[in-house]
Homo-oligomer: A and B are copies of this chain.
Amino acid sequence: MKVMVLLSGGLDSATCLAKAVNDYGSENVIALSILYGQKHKKEIEASNKIAAYYKTEHITLDLSSIFKFSDCSLLASSDKEIPTESYAEQLKKTGGSPVSTYVPFRNGLFLSSAAAMALSKGCSKIYYGAHADDSAGNAYPDCSKAFADAMNEAIYQGSGFQLTLETPFVGLTKAEVVKTGTELKVPYELTWSCYAGGEEPCHICGTCRDREETFRKNGLTDPLLKGDNQK
């Protein structure tokens, strides 16, 4: 059984890759990373390091052209600033609409690309690390269980029953994902989360705040806040 894993280089997808390697062995796992015009291209460097650590095949795809008309703040082509508030504060302002770093139907596109490539590479499963916190309050609707269930059905039907989607963390909080990953000894020092596009984490974007809080909830310190990694 071969498995394709969407690998963005952050905490959740790194944990998802670790789980797939744990479940099927690194020789049966293919990681897929996607450039989409994001400011924080540094996450691709992180993906390269994580895939190398786990010794899995790693494919990188450039889909930037699909987002050329989007003004999402996460994109390098946008003049909008990345918000520096927590997600709870951002959602108060959007009134329940997706946050400004929601990239239009990005995860649907990523899963469909993964499905196309997975079938070509003989995989029969896709692993996707979405968790409950990301979809809370409609911040990122393409992380919700309802979305993942529908995509699973679309992939199963549209592949002629050859491929399914697994979302092992869809019922977990981000803190619970990192708890699982800590047990699996995920090298979190290799991961990257910050949305701001700098060489070091900004510590103030929603994603930096989320990440650091996630480690604190587990009684841990984010390894990117420690020693050499802070230089």
Contacts and interface: CB of A to CB of B under 8 A. Distances in A.
Contact of A66 (B104, B113, B159): B113
Contacts of A61: 65-66
A86 interface: no
Nearest to A146: B157
Nearest to A153: B150
Nearest to A68: B120
Interface in A96-122: 97-98, 102-109, 111-113, 115-117, 119-121
Query: Which DSSP category, helix, strand, loop or mixed, fits chain A's interface?
Result: helix
Nearest to A114: B105
A13 to B, nearest CB: 17
- Counting contact residues on chain A (CB < 8 A from B), the size range is 35 or more
A70 interface: yes
A29 interface: no
A70 B154 contact: no
A141 B159 CA distance: 6
A215 interface: no
A63 B97 CA distance: 30
Given A66-B113, A154-B154, A119 B146 contact: no
Contacts of A116: 66-67, 70, 103-106, 108-109
Interface in A144-172: 144, 146-147, 150-151, 153-155, 157-161, 163
